[in-house]
């Protein structure tokens, strides 16, 4: 039996181990809750003194939250439990806010970002040309340079994929061409034809001396992969790690997941978008009807940014420095220019909400239309008002949502926004054949974004994300054509549709909307 066959056999029969690990983690969390309850019971005779103490702490916390910069929706969500449940609310707030793990991670990522600047030079001439063509796009490029270390690129070509099915074919083809290195970073990894096909290629490339690194989010250890999966990969010559693996110890750090999808090959080609490594993303497996996703392949100078995005995240958990010089953009990577592209990343740990800023910029500067595909619609006040104002000034705003949801609670929550948006003139259309997982914005035939950022709090505030901005690129027309084709398969929502919902669904949605900033 070959090494790969042994690996597949070991991988294929480990569901019991995965679920066993999940039970251990849940039991660990339960044990911590029991200890907390036991502590409260033992100190019950001092209950009044502790109540007064935490009442004082709550008052200080409320004043502190009110005066901190940030989203008012998030502030209100925190202030309510602290005011109503002083003891629990205060403890929970302090646990989440004063978490050393996230502070250490953020400091580490800032150091890595400074290190990256040596290898990702700014492109003032390119930005200058962009600014001459479009002042507001030049300003957005300037913002992303300063806040995200993401320059604007020419000498780049992009291929848009309206489905994961087509992207997977090209991913396999490009992986087989790899000669130097392969970097993979995904949120969901699950056994099936897609993963098996890619792993077979990775094993073969590792044998040929190609450097292969594979990173995936640690939540996969709960249901999708065994905790020893990285060891299986290491045995095959593939460097592998989990981002923020889940352990049986409570930490708010677990709320900041790596939701990015990045594949970089030899620094010449990169893939990003909504497609993960699981069969539903390529319609090999039917979970929620037809899976409508979107992604992009990038060739040319802009691949450089995806290379260093990956290296920064990989090295977050490393201690020593790495020679990024080994992965500089190859001279032969340049391609003829096709408009402008800006790859960008989203870090949830700092003050900047880059993912939301990009979307708001597109909405607020639209002249004719903004067309959006998103699996979730959980909006903060800023985003909600931007969509309403855009529709109010005559911009055609269309939002394509799933008709068959993957998470019923998120769907109920999204419905609570329908009335206000519909009454303002925003069109909301649900994809009747199944689930929309695409994260796409297109505006005025000249601007577009495709990436991993959903229109919800998790993507905009809690997750690590990435995306690709296109300006005057030929693929924008194909993206708009894809949206128009998708609309033909949609059911357009009306105010009456919301009124037909069950009263219990509407009530639960409203309650969850209040808690949404923390979900």
**Predicted local confidence at residue 402, as pLDDT:** 97
Give me 171's structure tokens: 């991913």
Is the per-residue pLDDT at 5 higher than 80?
no
The string of pLDDT tens digits covering residues 165-190 is 999 999 999 999 999 999 999 999 99
What is the C-alpha separation between 31 and 483, in angstroms, rounded?
A: 49
The string of pLDDT tens digits covering residues 13-35 is 445 444 444 555 556 556 656 76
**Predicted local confidence at residue 16, as pLDDT:** 46
What is the C-alpha separation between 164 and 14, in angstroms, rounded?
A: 27
Is the per-residue pLDDT at 8 higher than 80?
no
Q: Which parts of 134-163 fold into alpha helices (H)?
A: 135-148
| Cβ 367 vs Cβ 395: under 8 Å | yes
**Predicted local confidence at residue 27, as pLDDT:** 62
In this prediction, residue 245 has a pLDDT band, given cuts at 50, 70 and 90, of: confident
Euclidean distance between the first and the last CA atom of the chain, given in angstroms as a whole number: 46
Q: Which residue has the higher pLDDT, 135 or 57?
A: 135
For 286-344, the DSSP string reads -SSSEEE--EEEEEETTHHHHHHHHHHHHHTT--S---GGGGPPPGGG-----SEEEEE
Q: What percent of the chain has pLDDT over 70?
A: 85
Question: How many alpha carbons fall within 13 Å on the CB side of residue 467?
Answer: 27
Length of the chain: 519
Residue 426: φ, ψ to 5°: -75, 135
Give me 320's structure tokens: 């020593």
Is the per-residue pLDDT at 469 higher than 80?
yes
Burial 407-420 (b: 16+ CB within 10 A, else e): eeebbbbbbbbbbe
Is the per-residue pLDDT at 51 higher than 90?
no
For the chain, the structural domain boundaries read: 3-99, 103-142+150-339, 354-518
**Predicted local confidence at residue 24, as pLDDT:** 54
Rg of the chain taking only CA atoms, in angstroms = 24
Q: Label residue 93 left, alpha or beta by phi (over 0 means left) and psi (-120 to 50 means alpha).
A: alpha
Q: Which residue has the higher pLDDT, 338 or 247?
A: 338
Burial 317-347 (b: 16+ CB within 10 A, else e): eeeeeeebeebebeeebbbebbbbbbbbbbb
The stretch 43-50 carries a mean pLDDT of 62
Same topology between domain 103-142+150-339 and domain 354-518: yes
**Predicted local confidence at residue 120, as pLDDT:** 86
The stretch 291-297 carries a mean pLDDT of 98
| Maximum average pLDDT range among 23-37, 189-203, 318-332 | 189-203
**Predicted local confidence at residue 98, as pLDDT:** 65
Name 301's bridge partners.
none
Give me 479's structure tokens: 């993206």
For residue 1, what are the contacts with CB-CB under 8 A and spacing of at least 6?
A: 9
| Cβ 186 vs Cβ 277: under 8 Å | yes
Residue 511: φ, ψ to 5°: -65, -45
| Cβ 212 vs Cβ 206: under 8 Å | yes
Is the per-residue pLDDT at 7 higher than 60?
no
The string of pLDDT tens digits covering residues 419-430 is 999 999 999 999
What is the C-alpha separation between 322 and 320, in angstroms, rounded?
A: 7
Is the per-residue pLDDT at 89 higher than 80?
no
In this prediction, residue 4 has a pLDDT band, given cuts at 50, 70 and 90, of: very low
The verdict on domain 103-142+150-339 having CATH code 3.30.1130.10 is: no
Q: Which of 158, 151, 156 is nearest to 125 (CA)?
A: 151
Inter-CA distances, 117 with 110, 150, 151, 207, 251, Å = 11, 10, 10, 33, 31
**Predicted local confidence at residue 200, as pLDDT:** 97
In this prediction, residue 107 has a pLDDT band, given cuts at 50, 70 and 90, of: confident
Q: Name the pTM for this structure.
A: 0.88
Q: Positive or negative, the Cα torsion across 179, 192, 187, 382? A: positive
**Predicted local confidence at residue 332, as pLDDT:** 80
Q: Which of 41, 61, 78, 478 is nearest to 294 (CA)?
A: 478
**Predicted local confidence at residue 409, as pLDDT:** 86
Give CA 75 to chain center in angstroms: 23
Q: Which residue has the higher pLDDT, 70 or 420?
A: 420
In this prediction, residue 514 has a pLDDT band, given cuts at 50, 70 and 90, of: confident
CATH (one of 3.20.20.370, 3.30.870.10, 2.70.170.10, 3.30.565.10) for 354-518 = 3.30.870.10
DSSP SS3 for 265: strand
| Cβ 274 vs Cβ 438: under 8 Å | yes
The string of pLDDT tens digits covering residues 205-238 is 999 999 999 999 999 988 889 889 999 999 999 9
Question: Mean pLDDT lowest for which of 80-84, 333-337, 384-388, 429-433?
Answer: 80-84
**Predicted local confidence at residue 463, as pLDDT:** 94
In this prediction, residue 393 has a pLDDT band, given cuts at 50, 70 and 90, of: very high
| Cβ 255 vs Cβ 462: under 8 Å | yes
Question: Mean pLDDT lowest for which of 122-126, 186-190, 412-416, 498-502?
Answer: 498-502
| Cβ 355 vs Cβ 152: under 8 Å | no
**Predicted local confidence at residue 78, as pLDDT:** 73
Is the per-residue pLDDT at 502 higher than 90?
no
């Amino acid at each position: 039996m070959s090494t790969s066959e042994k690996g597949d056999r070991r991988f294929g029969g480990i569901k019991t181990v995965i679920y066993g690990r999940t039970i251990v983690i849940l039991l660990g969390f339960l044990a911590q809750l029991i200890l907390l309850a036991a502590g409260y019971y033992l100190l019950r005779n001092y209950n009044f003194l502790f109540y007064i103490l935490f009442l004082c702490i709550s008052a200080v916390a409320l004043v502190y939250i009110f005066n901190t910069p940030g989203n008012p929706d998030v502030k209100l969500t925190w202030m309510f439990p602290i005011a109503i449940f002083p003891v629990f609310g205060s403890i929970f707030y302090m646990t989440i806010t004063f978490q050393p793990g996230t502070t250490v991670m953020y400091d580490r990522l800032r150091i890595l970002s400074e290190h990256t600047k040596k290898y990702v030079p700014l492109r003032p001439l390119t930005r200058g040309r962009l600014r001459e063509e479009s002042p507001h796009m030049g300003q957005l490029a300037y913002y992303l340079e300063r806040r995200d270390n993401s320059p604007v690129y020419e000498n780049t070509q992009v291929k848009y994929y309206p489905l994961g099915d087509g992207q997977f074919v090209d991913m396999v083809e490009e992986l087989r061409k790899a000669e130097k290195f392969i970097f993979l970073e995904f949120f969901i990894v699950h056994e099936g034809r897609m993963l098996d096909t890619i792993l077979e290629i990775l094993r073969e490339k590792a044998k040929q001396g190609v450097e292969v690194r594979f990173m995936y989010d640690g939540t996969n250890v709960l249901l999708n992969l065994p905790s020893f999966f990285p060891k299986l990969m290491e045995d095959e010559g593939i460097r592998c790690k989990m981002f923020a693996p889940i352990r049986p110890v409570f930490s708010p750090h677990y709320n900041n997941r790596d939701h990015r999808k990045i594949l970089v090959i030899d620094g010449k080609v990169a893939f990003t978008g909504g497609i993960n490594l699981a069969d539903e993303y390529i319609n090999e497996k039917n979970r929620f009807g037809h899976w409508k996703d979107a992604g992009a392949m990038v060739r040319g100078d802009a691949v450089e940014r995806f290379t260093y995005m990956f290296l920064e995240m990989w090295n977050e958990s490393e201690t020593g420095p790495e020679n990024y010089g080994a992965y500089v953009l190859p001279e032969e990577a340049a391609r003829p220019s096709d408009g402008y592209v800006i790859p960008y990343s989203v870090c949830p740990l700092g003050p900047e909400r880059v993912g939301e800023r990009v979307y708001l910029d597109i909405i607020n500067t639209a002249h004719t239309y903004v067309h959006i595909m998103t699996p979730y619609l959980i909006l903060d006040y800023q985003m909600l008002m931007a969509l309403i104002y855009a529709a109010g000034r005559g911009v055609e705003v269309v939002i394509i949502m799933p008709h068959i949801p993957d998470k019923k609670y998120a769907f109920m929550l999204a419905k609570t926004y329908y009335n206000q948006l519909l009454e303002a003139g925003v069109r909301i259309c649900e994809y009747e054949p199944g689930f929309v997982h695409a994260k796409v914005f297109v505006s005025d035939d000249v601007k577009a974004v495709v990436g991993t950022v959903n229109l919800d709090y998790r993507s905009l505030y809690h997750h690590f994300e990435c995306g690709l901005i296109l300006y005057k690129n030929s693929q924008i027309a194909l993206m708009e054509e894809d949206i128009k084709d998708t609309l033909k398969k949609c059911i357009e929502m009306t105010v009456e549709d919301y009124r037909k919902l069950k009263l219990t669904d509407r009530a639960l949605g409203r309650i969850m909307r209040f808690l949404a900033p923390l979900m």
